[in-house]
Amino acid sequence: MTELVRGLPPLLASHLALVLIALAIATAVSLPLAIAVHARPRVAFALLAASAVVQTIPGLALLALMVPVLAGLGWLSPFGFAPAAIALTLYAILPILRNAILGLRGVDAAALDAARGLGMTRAQVVRIVQLPLAAPVIAGGIRTATVWTVGAATLATPVGQPCLGNYIFAGLQTRNFAMLLAGVAASAALALVLDALLAGAERALAGRRKRRALIPAGLFALLAVIVLAVLPRLPYEDAGPAGSIVHATPGAVTRVRIGGKTYTEQYILVELMRARLAAAGLAVDDVPGLGSTVVFDALVHGDVDAYVDYSGTLWANAMKRPGGAPRWQVTAELAGWLAREHGVRALPPLGFENTYAIAVRSDTATRYGLHTLADLARVAHELAIGGDYEFFSRPEWADVQRAYGIRFARQVSFDPALLYDALARGQVDAISAFSSDGRIAADDLVVLADPAAALPPYDALILLSPHVASDRRVACALGELHVSIEAMRRANAMVDADHRTPAEAAAWLAAQLPGSECAKVAP
Amino acid sequence: MIELDALGKRYGDSWAVRDVRATIARGELVAIVGESGSGKTTLLRMINRLIEPDAGAVRIDGKDVRARDPVALRRSIGYVIQHVGLLPHLTIGDNVAMVPRLLGWPRAEIDGRVGELLALVGLPEHRERFPEQLSGGQRQRVGIARALAARPEVLLLDEPLGALDPITRASLQRELARLHRELGLTSILVTHDLLEALALADRVAVMLRGELRQLAPPAELVRAPADDYVAQLVGMVRTQGEQLRAFGAP
């Protein structure tokens, strides 16, 4: 609990910074735009329609979409603060623009006629008449945008921007409901506080004494200044609004950024690597909870220096090789391809596999006599299968369907944290499971064999970015790691079933390892 | 002073104002009468270039208004409208001070002028109030004070008393006539009320479907209407007067 509270301020601060910057940019873009177009209904309508379309894109998708877009443009880091801030800015534009246009158009016609008749220039009409009279409506738009943005900013975690979403994603994945609630409550509280401040400003603007709006607006600005001033001193400095992402620089590595995907095993491995590197005297930043493909792109771009991936995942998704292959071949070809194409170093396999596997409840297996995927193919048309978000769109699934001719009656995507529950409660009859998952044994599931070898092997291995690939301290600290499948399953179960933290599970894993020799390696 | 030379304004295929010719002398008060859509407001708004004509020209002191910057032109002409259009977020004092501020007068001079004007329209103690705290008649007094702030020679009034109750209206009519005289203004007053026009104006212009049907002093208009429409208008006023007399009014 105290750990939760201690971890909150940096997340809260970087969340707030994200929100404030997105709002500031959205306001700076929307107001001049509204002033320019409000008198031209057709243009105004087209702009509002365009921003409404942006609004219909689900938040998570819009944020994730910014990564390839920015990577394609190439002038901002496609990872972390920039994509999150841009996506949130796009989100915030609609309410601000809409209210500004409506507010400016809604100004009393007599006041406008008199203002023009008295000899105000067009700019003076806007400044002296329209903006002050539209101010409460405009403030209302900013207020709506603020509440939306605080909520949507929790989705910045998967693109690598620390925010309150880190608690929400990690809490959900590791079934740590205290953490989940802390993230949700902090985000709600932040939204309420900002909303109250802006409501005060809005009320004052609607009244006659406009100057009173300066008090809440001033508090708002003060908050912004405090956040932006304090933020660089907090642990997440490299993800701050300064965008000071560490790119490859020559010389010895002193700081390593560890990435991780959004499930329990990855959270544990991030903690394990962090402890190892810290013991070797390196500074460590961690960026857990990234999207599965985002993290590989981040590594290639040098925004993440190390993370654990699985050979089969890269084989199918990054190398785009169809079907499976013998383990030695996959490992060797993958290492060569990574080095050749991306300058990425694959350390030797960690020692355990986290295979995509199809699992069924034991009663289902008994009833239909299921041992292999070929058996499942016979009865699949009566059954429903659940998969994590990515499973059904992964090439491995296409390979399985092709190899066995499997067609299910229904297929449903779930959050990986909920997948096992869905199977246990009979929502689905089969799921895409991970072979290292502690819940396979705990829930008494049957993993079906893959005689046609449609699924490639999934050896866990640590990848190093070009920036740290040649660094002896990093390679030694991480190269020594060895984790057996039993140990990994046990560690996963500690978090998923026993509600221990990933750090505790990582400490347990580390205790199983022989002592490190790396302290003797010179930087 | 003000010359309307074959002035016309067209919307699509129809002329809102067509071939209006008139010369208004310095110090004169001319009322323009007509029903809605007769083109009287359009005619007025072409004088300060809120509407640009499609034919003919407006000349003030012999100079075509199109040769002048429209913003500077409007600041030199007083403008009063039916719904007043005071800025609700500014005090009465700030509303009256608007044009002098736009013209960049020194602060002390503006202060003095605002006091003078509020006294002139009978609202000296309302300077720090806001428009919503005033009655309709008081607001229009402020509107007139605002129009007069920068000492214009020409005052354009578009139905300034149209939204007021009869008693307030009568008192403001007297007020307008007094200000016009005392300040030596050249005024053009648009109204749909012929009686008001006859009572206030030196000459009355009658418009119908964009055309000027007659421009004459009140006595002449009543005695010798130029056409059936003017005769009909005058006849209506006369009937109302006779009805009143039938009830025993003097």
Residue pLDDT, tens place only, B216-237: 999 999 999 999 999 999 999 8
Which residue from A110, A133, A208 is facing B130, i.e. has the nearest CB? A208
pLDDT more than 90, % of chain A: 31
Over residues A495-507, mean pLDDT? 88
Compare all CA atoms of chain A with the CA of B98 and give the residue at the minimum distance.
A118
* Res. B248: pLDDT tops 80: no
Res A249 pLDDT > 60: no
Mean pLDDT along residues A240-252: 40
Label residue A242 by pLDDT band (50, 70, 90): very low
User: Can you tell me the mean pLDDT for A190-209?
Assistant: 83
Confidence band (pLDDT; 50, 70, 90) for A248? Answer: very low
**pLDDT tens digits for range B178-206:** 999 999 999 999 998 999 999 999 999 99
**Given this model, what pLDDT does residue A239 score?**
35
Residue A234 has a pLDDT of: 52
**pLDDT for A144:** 92
DSSP state, A456? P
Mutation target among A107, A118, A127, A209 for the B interface, most CBs of B within 10 A: A118
- Supply the pLDDT for residue A244: 33
Asked whether the predicted pLDDT for residue A523 surpasses 60, the reply is no
| DSSP output for A66-92 | HHHHHHHH-SS-SSSHHHHHHHHHHHH
Q: Does A1 touch chain B (CB under 8 A)?
A: no
> What span, in angstroms and rounded, lies between the C-alpha atoms of B172 and B167?
9
Which amino acid, A325? A
- Residue A210 pLDDT class (50, 70, 90 cuts): low
Q: Is the entire prediction scored with pTM above 0.90?
A: no
Helix (H) or strand (E) holding A16: helix A2-37
% chain B with pLDDT above 90: 80
Higher-pLDDT residue of A72 and B38 is B38
> Quick check: A207 contacting B, CB < 8 Å?
no
Cα–Cα distances (Å) from A424 to A370, A382, A448, in that order, read 17, 18, 17
Which residues of chain A are within 8 Å of residue B81 when distances are taken between CB atoms? 110, 113-114, 117
* Min distance A121 CA to chain B CA atoms (Å): 6
Decide if pLDDT at A74 tops 50: yes
Cα–Cα dist A182/A231, whole Å? 20
Cβ-defined contact of A113 to B98 (cutoff 8 Å) = no
Is residue A163 within 8 A of residue A13, CB to CB? The reply is no
Distance in angstroms (rounded) separating the CA atoms of residues B195 and A159:
76
Euclidean distance between CA atoms A55 and A245, whole angstroms: 29
Q: How confident is the model at residue A229 (pLDDT cuts 50, 70, 90)?
A: low
Find chain A residues with C-beta within 8 A of B42's C-beta: none
B60-104 pLDDT per residue, tens = 999 999 999 999 999 999 999 989 889 988 999 999 999 999 999
Write out pLDDT tens, residues B143-162. Answer: 999 999 999 999 999 999 88
What mean pLDDT do residues A375-386 have?
90
> How high is the ipTM of this complex?
0.88
Distances, alpha carbon B3 to alpha carbons A187, B19, B198, in Å: 69, 13, 22
Least confident of A103-107, A200-204, A268-272, B74-78: A200-204
- pLDDT category at A485 given cuts 50, 70, 90 is confident
pLDDT at A250 over 70: no
Is the confidence at residue A155, as pLDDT, over 70?
yes
Nearest to B83 among A110, A132, A133 (CB): A110
For range A291-317, the mean pLDDT: 85
What is the residue-averaged pLDDT of chain A?
A: 84
For position A200, what pLDDT does the model report? 85
- The pLDDT assigned to A10 comes to 84
A382 at B interface, C-beta within 8 A? no
pLDDT over 70 at A519, yes or no: no
